[in-house]
Amino acid sequence: MLRSLVFSLALSTAPALAHAGNLTLGWSPQTGQQQAAVQTAVTLYALSKALKSRGDVRQNGAALSALLRQSGSGQYALIDQRGTGHGATVSQSGAPNALALFQRGRGSQANIAQTGGQGAIVVQYGW
């Protein structure tokens, strides 16, 4: 099962800011069983944080922006931003989809579209 997990690691630097960068770790399930596990993990996390809906944005810091669009049933999304200058756009349609996006540090950007039967856990750290 672990062999089928897909991990991605991207390190980028902005040309205008030579000392700025971003580290992104993401995982997307490759099987129905893994998708169910992501759906369960996001749901349990939402319950542990007493989230009242299937979409939640939590922000702590300055100059943070987040847009969450959901259509259809079975959508679960959490955007958790801490730090400064983060931006996130998440679009979910079809069903079921599950996403947990955590942004820390400063200046991380994410644009995620899920179109049915997709899940992901993404952690970003910017400096």
Tell me the per-residue pLDDT of 11-55, one tens digit each, with 9 for 90 and over.
333 344 445 788 898 888 888 888 888 888 877 877 776 665 688
What are the residue ranges spanned by the domains of the chain? 27-126
The pair of three-digit structure tokens given for residue 5, joined into one six-digit string: 């997990």
- If pLDDT is split at 50, 70 and 90, which confidence band does 125 have? very high
Upstream peptide bond of 15 is cis (omega within 30 degrees of 0)? no
Tell me the per-residue pLDDT of 64-99, one tens digit each, with 9 for 90 and over.
999 999 998 888 899 999 999 999 999 999 888 889
Q: Give CA–CA dist 91/44, Å, rounded.
A: 21
pTM: 0.76
> Residue 95: what are its φ and ψ, rounded to 5°?
-155, 155
